[in-house]
Amino acid sequence: MTPDIDTPTNGLPSRRKLALTTAGALAAALVIVFALVLPAEYGRDPLGTGRLLGIAALSAPPVQAVETPRDATLYKPSQLGPIGYHAGAYKVDSAQFTLGPYEYVEYKYRLEQGAAMLYSWSASAPVKHDFHGEPDGKPAGTAESFDKNDRRDGHGTFTAPFSGIHGWYWENTGGESVTVAISSAGYYSDAIEIGMNHARRRHVLTPLATVRSAQ
């Protein structure tokens, strides 16, 4: 008498059960391949499970961050086309001045050649105004005017044509007090207020990180 092939002998599974189990395992493997492996590893999502489970992004190529140009520093940019690269974040600043009758003040930022800032200032009445720069290495008092017109406000961007201190002269030419307020952001390293009769006062600049943490 020959033994029945479907009959288990010695506690081993029958051939039929082995075949069923193998087929089940293959089916499960195929489901895993199509539902999980293909979307996650190869970016293919035939069943839509990659999108549903949020695993499709796993197949995206890793981001290779490019380093900032080596000659760029925090304050001196490396110019590549229209972009001036810096080695860190810019700073922000705001200041306000009250000019008594016939008083004046100068407010200047130290910018390296090519470094940029954007600014907005306004006054409570028209003032005599001179936006100018003083280049490093030149005799004291050497200045180049960029805009010398009476104004009540000014808004713009500025890229330093040379390294030095750049900023504004505001003069109250009338008999009533005038308030001037300025806000700016840029790659400047210092801010100096030059008051009447040459009194100099440094202003503390705010790092961008401080602004972000306050938000």
Q: Which stretch binds other proteins (CB under 8 A): 17-25, 47-55, 85-93, 190-198?
A: 190-198
| Least distance between other proteins and beta carbon 101 (Å) | 5
Q: CA 113, CA 95: separation in Å to the nearest integer? A: 24
Task: Report phi then psi at 30, rounded to 5.
Answer: -65, -40
Of the candidates 140, 199, 204, 214, which one interacts with other proteins according to CB under 8 A? 140
Rounded to the nearest angstrom, the gap between the alpha carbon of residue 103 and the centroid of all alpha carbons in its chain is 38
Q: Strand pairing partners for 134?
A: 165
Q: Tell which positions 23-52 bind other proteins, by CB under 8 A.
A: none
> Does position 145 bind other proteins by CB under 8 A?
no
Q: Which residues contact 210 (CB under 8 A, 6 or more apart)?
A: none
Of the candidates 23, 102, 200, 211, which one interacts with other proteins according to CB under 8 A? 102
> Does position 100 bind other proteins by CB under 8 A?
yes
Q: CA 67, CA 86: separation in Å to the nearest integer? A: 11
76-79: long-range contacts, CB 8 A cutoff, minimum separation 24: 76/112, 76/113, 76/114, 76/115, 77/112, 77/114, 77/115, 77/116, 77/187, 79/114
| Least distance between other proteins and beta carbon 153 (Å) | 24
Identify the DSSP state of 64: -
| Least distance between other proteins and beta carbon 108 (Å) | 17
Q: CA 49, CA 45: separation in Å to the nearest integer? A: 7
> Does position 104 bind other proteins by CB under 8 A?
yes
Task: State both tokens at 111.
Answer: 């910018």
Q: Going residue by residue from 49 to 88, which x/- string records binding to other proteins, judged by CB under 8 A?
A: ----------------------------------------
> Does position 101 bind other proteins by CB under 8 A?
yes
| Least distance between other proteins and beta carbon 190 (Å) | 22
Q: Which is nearer to other proteins, 72 or 127 (CB)?
A: 127
* Count of beta carbons in the 10 Å neighbourhood of residue 163: 18
> Does position 179 bind other proteins by CB under 8 A?
no
> Does position 139 bind other proteins by CB under 8 A?
no
> Does position 175 bind other proteins by CB under 8 A?
yes
Residues that bind other proteins (CB under 8 A): 100-104, 140, 175, 177, 196-198
